[in-house]
Protein backbone atom coordinates (compact mmCIF):
# COMPACT_ATOMS: atom_id res chain seq x y z
CA UNK A 1 0.00 0.00 0.00
CA UNK A 2 2.84 2.39 0.86
CA UNK A 3 4.44 1.71 -2.52
CA UNK A 4 1.14 2.42 -4.23
CA UNK A 5 0.76 5.81 -2.54
CA UNK A 6 4.40 6.64 -3.22
CA UNK A 7 3.87 5.94 -6.91
CA UNK A 8 0.76 8.11 -6.93
CA UNK A 9 2.68 10.93 -5.27
CA UNK A 10 5.44 10.70 -7.87
CA UNK A 11 2.86 10.88 -10.68
CA UNK A 12 1.28 13.99 -9.14
CA UNK A 13 4.63 15.73 -8.74
CA UNK A 14 5.68 14.90 -12.31
CA UNK A 15 2.34 16.13 -13.67
CA UNK A 16 2.70 19.39 -11.76
CA UNK A 17 6.25 19.97 -13.00
CA UNK A 18 5.30 19.26 -16.62
CA UNK A 19 2.22 21.48 -16.39
CA UNK A 20 4.17 24.41 -15.00
CA UNK A 21 6.95 23.95 -17.55
CA UNK A 22 4.40 24.09 -20.36
CA UNK A 23 3.83 27.83 -19.94
CA UNK A 24 6.91 29.27 -18.20
CA UNK A 25 10.48 29.17 -19.52
CA UNK A 26 13.15 27.26 -17.60
CA UNK A 27 15.92 28.91 -15.65
CA UNK A 28 13.85 31.52 -13.79
CA UNK A 29 13.72 31.86 -10.01
CA UNK A 30 10.96 29.72 -8.51
CA UNK A 31 9.26 29.79 -5.11
CA UNK A 32 7.34 26.74 -3.89
CA UNK A 33 5.26 27.74 -0.89
CA UNK A 34 5.40 25.37 2.08
CA UNK A 35 1.82 25.93 3.22
CA UNK A 36 -0.64 23.63 1.42
CA UNK A 37 -4.17 25.01 1.84
CA UNK A 38 -6.96 22.43 1.80
CA UNK A 39 -9.97 23.69 -0.16
CA UNK A 40 -13.59 22.43 -0.21
CA UNK A 41 -14.37 19.51 -2.54
CA UNK A 42 -18.14 19.74 -2.87
CA UNK A 43 -19.70 18.01 -5.87
CA UNK A 44 -20.79 20.41 -8.65
CA UNK A 45 -19.09 23.25 -6.74
CA UNK A 46 -15.35 23.51 -7.48
CA UNK A 47 -13.51 25.87 -5.07
CA UNK A 48 -12.69 28.60 -7.59
CA UNK A 49 -13.04 31.71 -5.44
CA UNK A 50 -11.37 29.81 -2.61
CA UNK A 51 -8.31 29.32 -4.82
CA UNK A 52 -7.99 33.07 -5.21
CA UNK A 53 -8.43 33.64 -1.47
CA UNK A 54 -5.74 31.05 -0.69
CA UNK A 55 -3.31 32.64 -3.15
CA UNK A 56 -4.01 36.11 -1.77
CA UNK A 57 -3.29 34.79 1.72
CA UNK A 58 -0.04 32.97 0.90
CA UNK A 59 1.54 34.96 -1.97
CA UNK A 60 2.60 38.62 -1.55
CA UNK A 61 1.67 39.73 -5.09
CA UNK A 62 0.46 43.20 -6.07
CA UNK A 63 -3.25 42.77 -6.79
CA UNK A 64 -3.29 45.96 -8.90
CA UNK A 65 -1.03 44.27 -11.47
CA UNK A 66 -2.84 40.91 -11.63
CA UNK A 67 -3.58 39.91 -15.25
CA UNK A 68 -3.59 37.04 -17.68
CA UNK A 69 -5.33 34.22 -15.83
CA UNK A 70 -5.37 30.72 -17.31
CA UNK A 71 -7.67 28.01 -15.97
CA UNK A 72 -8.31 24.42 -16.88
CA UNK A 73 -10.06 21.69 -14.92
CA UNK A 74 -11.13 18.08 -15.16
CA UNK A 75 -14.27 16.46 -13.74
CA UNK A 76 -15.11 12.81 -13.17
CA UNK A 77 -18.34 11.21 -14.37
CA UNK A 78 -20.09 12.23 -11.13
CA UNK A 79 -19.40 15.95 -11.55
CA UNK A 80 -16.62 16.21 -8.95
CA UNK A 81 -13.42 17.94 -9.99
CA UNK A 82 -10.31 15.76 -10.18
CA UNK A 83 -7.75 18.51 -10.79
CA UNK A 84 -7.70 22.30 -11.15
CA UNK A 85 -4.79 24.14 -12.79
CA UNK A 86 -4.79 27.91 -12.43
CA UNK A 87 -2.19 30.60 -12.93
CA UNK A 88 -2.00 34.34 -13.41
CA UNK A 89 0.61 37.07 -13.73
CA UNK A 90 1.22 39.74 -11.07
CA UNK A 91 4.18 41.74 -9.80
CA UNK A 92 6.05 41.10 -6.58
CA UNK A 93 8.25 43.97 -5.38
CA UNK A 94 7.92 45.62 -8.78
CA UNK A 95 9.07 42.55 -10.75
CA UNK A 96 6.85 40.39 -13.01
CA UNK A 97 6.00 36.89 -11.74
CA UNK A 98 3.58 34.12 -12.66
CA UNK A 99 1.68 32.55 -9.75
CA UNK A 100 0.25 29.04 -9.92
CA UNK A 101 -2.17 26.78 -8.08
CA UNK A 102 -2.37 23.05 -8.66
CA UNK A 103 -5.38 21.61 -6.79
CA UNK A 104 -5.90 17.88 -6.32
CA UNK A 105 -9.28 16.19 -5.94
CA UNK A 106 -8.80 16.01 -2.15
CA UNK A 107 -8.62 19.82 -2.05
CA UNK A 108 -4.88 20.12 -1.47
CA UNK A 109 -3.65 23.27 -3.23
CA UNK A 110 0.04 23.45 -4.16
CA UNK A 111 1.09 27.06 -4.74
CA UNK A 112 4.17 28.43 -6.47
CA UNK A 113 5.57 31.56 -8.11
CA UNK A 114 8.13 31.95 -10.87
CA UNK A 115 9.90 35.12 -11.99
CA UNK A 116 9.35 36.18 -15.59
CA UNK A 117 10.50 39.04 -17.81
CA UNK A 118 7.20 40.11 -19.37
CA UNK A 119 3.68 41.18 -18.40
CA UNK A 120 0.72 40.03 -20.51
CA UNK A 121 -2.32 42.27 -20.98
CA UNK A 122 -5.76 40.80 -20.26
CA UNK A 123 -8.54 40.70 -17.69
CA UNK A 124 -8.11 40.48 -13.92
CA UNK A 125 -7.96 36.84 -12.72
CA UNK A 126 -11.02 37.22 -10.51
CA UNK A 127 -13.12 37.94 -13.61
CA UNK A 128 -12.18 34.54 -15.00
CA UNK A 129 -12.79 32.68 -11.74
CA UNK A 130 -16.11 34.44 -11.19
CA UNK A 131 -17.21 33.62 -14.74
CA UNK A 132 -16.56 29.90 -14.28
CA UNK A 133 -17.99 29.98 -10.75
CA UNK A 134 -21.28 31.27 -12.18
CA UNK A 135 -21.79 28.08 -14.23
CA UNK A 136 -24.44 25.69 -12.80
CA UNK A 137 -22.33 22.54 -12.94
CA UNK A 138 -25.26 20.41 -11.79
CA UNK A 139 -26.93 21.03 -15.18
CA UNK A 140 -24.10 19.42 -17.14
CA UNK A 141 -23.95 15.78 -18.24
CA UNK A 142 -20.47 14.37 -17.53
CA UNK A 143 -20.64 11.17 -19.58
CA UNK A 144 -18.74 7.99 -18.84
CA UNK A 145 -15.23 9.47 -18.57
CA UNK A 146 -15.99 12.96 -17.28
CA UNK A 147 -15.37 16.38 -18.82
CA UNK A 148 -12.55 18.88 -19.26
CA UNK A 149 -12.98 22.64 -18.91
CA UNK A 150 -10.76 25.38 -20.31
CA UNK A 151 -11.02 29.16 -20.46
CA UNK A 152 -9.93 30.83 -23.70
CA UNK A 153 -9.19 34.51 -24.31
CA UNK A 154 -10.21 36.28 -27.51
CA UNK A 155 -9.28 39.67 -28.96
CA UNK A 156 -10.79 39.39 -32.45
CA UNK A 157 -14.32 39.85 -33.71
CA UNK A 158 -16.14 36.56 -33.95
CA UNK A 159 -19.61 35.05 -34.33
CA UNK A 160 -20.88 31.79 -32.83
CA UNK A 161 -23.98 30.26 -34.37
CA UNK A 162 -25.65 26.89 -34.81
CA UNK A 163 -22.53 25.50 -36.50
CA UNK A 164 -21.02 25.31 -33.00
CA UNK A 165 -23.81 23.17 -31.61
CA UNK A 166 -24.27 23.76 -27.89
CA UNK A 167 -23.70 27.43 -27.05
CA UNK A 168 -25.12 28.79 -23.79
CA UNK A 169 -25.39 31.93 -21.72
CA UNK A 170 -25.26 31.82 -17.94
CA UNK A 171 -28.41 33.61 -16.82
CA UNK A 172 -29.91 33.71 -13.33
CA UNK A 173 -27.99 30.63 -12.25
CA UNK A 174 -28.95 28.45 -15.19
CA UNK A 175 -27.73 27.68 -18.72
CA UNK A 176 -29.86 29.35 -21.39
CA UNK A 177 -29.41 28.08 -24.96
CA UNK A 178 -28.20 30.56 -27.56
CA UNK A 179 -28.87 30.62 -31.26
CA UNK A 180 -26.17 33.17 -32.04
CA UNK A 181 -23.73 35.50 -30.30
CA UNK A 182 -21.39 38.00 -31.98
CA UNK A 183 -18.49 40.06 -30.65
CA UNK A 184 -17.11 43.31 -32.08
CA UNK A 185 -15.38 44.94 -29.13
CA UNK A 186 -11.86 46.23 -28.39
CA UNK A 187 -12.03 44.55 -24.99
CA UNK A 188 -10.65 41.08 -24.33
CA UNK A 189 -13.45 38.54 -23.92
CA UNK A 190 -13.40 34.84 -23.17
CA UNK A 191 -15.25 31.58 -23.63
CA UNK A 192 -15.58 28.69 -21.21
CA UNK A 193 -15.36 25.47 -23.20
CA UNK A 194 -16.42 22.16 -21.66
CA UNK A 195 -15.81 18.95 -23.58
CA UNK A 196 -15.63 15.19 -22.96
CA UNK A 197 -12.41 13.62 -21.72
CA UNK A 198 -11.17 11.66 -24.74
CA UNK A 199 -10.77 7.92 -24.75
CA UNK A 200 -7.34 6.81 -23.63
CA UNK A 201 -4.99 5.89 -26.46
CA UNK A 202 -3.70 2.32 -26.03
CA UNK A 203 -0.33 1.57 -27.66
CA UNK A 204 0.33 -2.01 -28.72
CA UNK A 205 3.67 -3.85 -28.67
CA UNK A 206 4.64 -2.43 -32.05
CA UNK A 207 4.35 1.12 -30.75
CA UNK A 208 1.23 1.85 -32.81
CA UNK A 209 -2.18 2.87 -31.39
CA UNK A 210 -4.64 -0.02 -31.30
CA UNK A 211 -7.41 2.12 -32.81
CA UNK A 212 -5.70 3.68 -35.82
CA UNK A 213 -9.03 4.96 -37.19
CA UNK A 214 -9.46 7.35 -34.28
CA UNK A 215 -9.28 11.02 -35.30
CA UNK A 216 -9.28 14.28 -33.37
CA UNK A 217 -12.67 15.99 -32.94
CA UNK A 218 -13.06 19.77 -32.98
CA UNK A 219 -15.22 21.18 -30.21
CA UNK A 220 -17.84 22.45 -32.67
CA UNK A 221 -18.05 18.91 -34.13
CA UNK A 222 -18.72 17.19 -30.79
CA UNK A 223 -22.43 17.22 -29.85
CA UNK A 224 -21.51 16.71 -26.18
CA UNK A 225 -19.28 19.79 -25.98
CA UNK A 226 -20.49 23.10 -24.57
CA UNK A 227 -19.35 26.68 -25.16
CA UNK A 228 -20.50 28.88 -22.29
CA UNK A 229 -20.64 32.68 -22.09
CA UNK A 230 -20.64 34.32 -18.67
CA UNK A 231 -22.76 37.42 -17.88
CA UNK A 232 -19.81 39.74 -18.59
CA UNK A 233 -19.47 38.35 -22.12
CA UNK A 234 -23.22 38.63 -22.74
CA UNK A 235 -22.98 42.31 -21.80
CA UNK A 236 -19.98 42.81 -24.11
CA UNK A 237 -21.54 41.03 -27.11
CA UNK A 238 -22.71 43.07 -30.08
CA UNK A 239 -25.56 40.67 -30.84
CA UNK A 240 -27.20 37.94 -28.72
CA UNK A 241 -29.99 35.72 -30.05
CA UNK A 242 -31.54 33.22 -27.65
CA UNK A 243 -33.16 29.95 -28.64
CA UNK A 244 -36.95 30.18 -28.54
CA UNK A 245 -37.33 26.88 -26.69
CA UNK A 246 -37.35 27.19 -22.91
CA UNK A 247 -35.29 25.20 -20.44
CA UNK A 248 -31.95 23.46 -20.60
CA UNK A 249 -32.98 19.82 -20.85
CA UNK A 250 -30.39 17.69 -22.57
CA UNK A 251 -27.43 19.92 -21.78
In a domain, 79, yes or no: yes
Same domain flag for 14 and 122: yes
Task: Tell me the average pLDDT across 22-39.
Answer: 80
pTM: 0.80
> pLDDT band for position 210 (50/70/90)?
low
What is the phi/psi pair of residue 85, to 5°? -120, 120
Split into its structural domains, the chain has a count of 2
Q: Residue 73 belongs to what domain range?
A: 2-133
Instruction: Note the pLDDT of residue 174.
Output: 93
How far apart (Å, rounded) are the C-alpha atoms in residues 97 and 91? 6
> pLDDT band for position 132 (50/70/90)?
very high
| Residue 227 near residue 166, CB atoms below 8 Å | yes
- Tell which of 103, 133, 163 closes a domain: 133
Instruction: Note the pLDDT of residue 162.
Output: 81
Per residue in 140-155, pLDDT tens? Answer: 999 899 999 999 989 8
Residue 8 has pLDDT above 60, yes or no: no
Instruction: Note the pLDDT of residue 212.
Output: 54
How far apart (Å, rounded) are the C-alpha atoms in residues 172 and 231? 9
Least confident of 172-186, 205-219, 235-249: 205-219
Give the helix/strand (H/E) hosting 58.
Answer: helix 48-58
Q: What's the angle, vertex CA 72, arms to CA 71 and CA 76, rounded to 5?
A: 145
| Residue 141 near residue 79, CB atoms below 8 Å | no
Per residue in 42-80, pLDDT tens? Answer: 999 999 999 999 999 999 999 999 998 999 999 999 999
Same domain flag for 64 and 98: yes
Per residue in 179-194, pLDDT tens? Answer: 999 999 988 899 999 9
Going from the C-alpha of 93 to that of each of 43, 44, 87, 245, the distances in angstroms are 38, 38, 19, 53
Same domain flag for 128 and 143: no
How far apart (Å, rounded) are the C-alpha atoms in residues 7 and 190? 37
| Residue 222 near residue 165, CB atoms below 8 Å | yes
Going from the C-alpha of 79 to that of each of 14, 49, 110, 158, 160, the distances in angstroms are 25, 18, 22, 31, 27
In a domain, 250, yes or no: no
Instruction: Note the pLDDT of residue 215.
Output: 47
Amino acid sequence: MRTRWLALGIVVVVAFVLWRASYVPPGYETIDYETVPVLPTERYNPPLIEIWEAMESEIPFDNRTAKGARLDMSFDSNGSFTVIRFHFFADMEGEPWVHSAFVLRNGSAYLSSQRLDYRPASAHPLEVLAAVDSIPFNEISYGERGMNLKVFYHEQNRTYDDTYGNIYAVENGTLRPLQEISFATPEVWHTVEIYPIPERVVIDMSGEPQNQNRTATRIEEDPRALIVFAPREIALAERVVYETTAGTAGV
